[in-house]
Amino acid sequence: MIQTAQAEAIEVLTPLLGRRKACAAAGVPQANWYRTNRRSPAPARPLTPRKPHPAALSTAERDHVRAMLNERFADAAPATAYFTLLDEDTYLASQSTMYRILREHGEVGRDRRRQATHPPKTIPELFADAPNRVWAWDITKLRGPDKGVWYHLYTIIDIYSRCVVGWMVASRESATLAKRLIQQTAVKQRIDRDTLTLHADRGSSMKSKTVAELLIDLGVAKSHSRPKTSNDNPHIEASFKTLKYCPDFPGRFGSIEDARAFCQSFYTWYNHEHYHSGIGYHHPVDVHHGRAAAVRDRRARVLAAAQAARPERFASGGTPTPPDLPGPAWINKPKPVTATEQEHTLEKPAQN
């Protein structure tokens, strides 16, 4: 710490001896003096804009060069544009200037072509409050006996009852075979016109003209999942998982007859014996044919009798009740609109 007397002596001697000798005469290290009397940095001077070079391109010329590169030469390098224009007896700017103009707008190293924009796909929202209102169908592959040999399982499921109403195992995927299965299933289920919607993904057979014409003839509405969105067809995907995770499901089928025999046994079990959690642990065939209410009443009577016989066993849980009857089924049920969103919609000004 420099004392006041030492600081005054240094200030007096500095004009005569210089800063270093003045500090030595006062017995103060020169570094201590500088540390104590450190000055704040000088304020930065405002930067004056550089004047453009007399030979520089004007703003209009630069815009013209950029427009030429991004329109006519959008898929070419600046060097290609440069020499193409030279061969056409035209000079706009040097190659380095072309790169400099593109770099200023972040257009170097990326595709300058106009990219196609696709509108967002409409989310399919399907509602079924009874059987034979909405069917979903798809095709999955089953391994054959040798490498590269596959069998194709066509399946149609009713999303309300979860009942598999039609299926077929074929050696190939074909729109003609799909048409045959859909037509036979519609006749078997006695589908009236304008009462059914058939939902599928966007496979070649599902979007084929053959199937589309059949649906028009039958009076059946069609619906498709969004691209690369398997969640738009959840019921059929869940049935395929139940099939392939079945303990008896083989890794490979020895022949197409073996595959058909297995699927016959599986779908008989699936429709008539499988307790499906999505429909209140009823059998799909009971829900499909309207027998679920009678099954639930019978379950309720059994539980009531058990409670009457030993009420102490049900004291803490109250009156036991079986699961509710299946309610309406959805594919992509709409989210409820909150009060805030509703107010925002009402307050939004109408557009002319």
Q: What is the pLDDT of residues 19-57, one digit of tens each?
A: 888 888 888 888 888 888 766 566 677 777 778 888 889
* 326 contacts 279 by C-beta, under 8 angstroms: yes
**Residue 111 or 100, more confident:** 100
Taking residues 157-181, what's their average pLDDT?
97
pLDDT at 338: 67
Pairing label, strands 164-170, 197-200: unpaired
| pLDDT at residue 2, rounded to an integer | 73
What integer is the mean pLDDT of 154-179?
97
Mean pLDDT score across all residues of the chain: 89
Residue 271 pLDDT > 60:
yes
Which residue in this structure is represented by tokens 């078997």? 188
Judged against a pLDDT cut of 60, whether residue 344 lies above it is answered with no
Residue 351 has pLDDT above 50, yes or no: no
Tell me: pLDDT of 352 over 50: no
Question: pLDDT-based confidence at 198, cuts 50/70/90?
Answer: very high
Question: What is the reported pTM?
Answer: 0.66
* pLDDT per position as a tens digit, 107-120: 887 777 766 666 77
pLDDT at residue 98 greater than cutoff 50: yes
Percent of the chain topping pLDDT 70? 91
CB 292, CB 326: distance < 8 Å: yes
- Determine the topology of domain 126-285 in CATH: Nucleotidyltransferase; domain 5 (3.30.420)
Residue 200's contacts (CB-CB under 8 Å, 6 or more residues apart) are 136, 137, 138, 206, 222, 223, 224, 225, 233
Backbone angles phi, psi at 167, to 5 degrees: -155, 160
pLDDT value at residue 347 = 55
- Amino acid sitting at position 46: P
Is the pLDDT at 346 greater than 80? The verdict is no
| pLDDT-wise least confident of 7-11, 65-69, 84-88 | 7-11
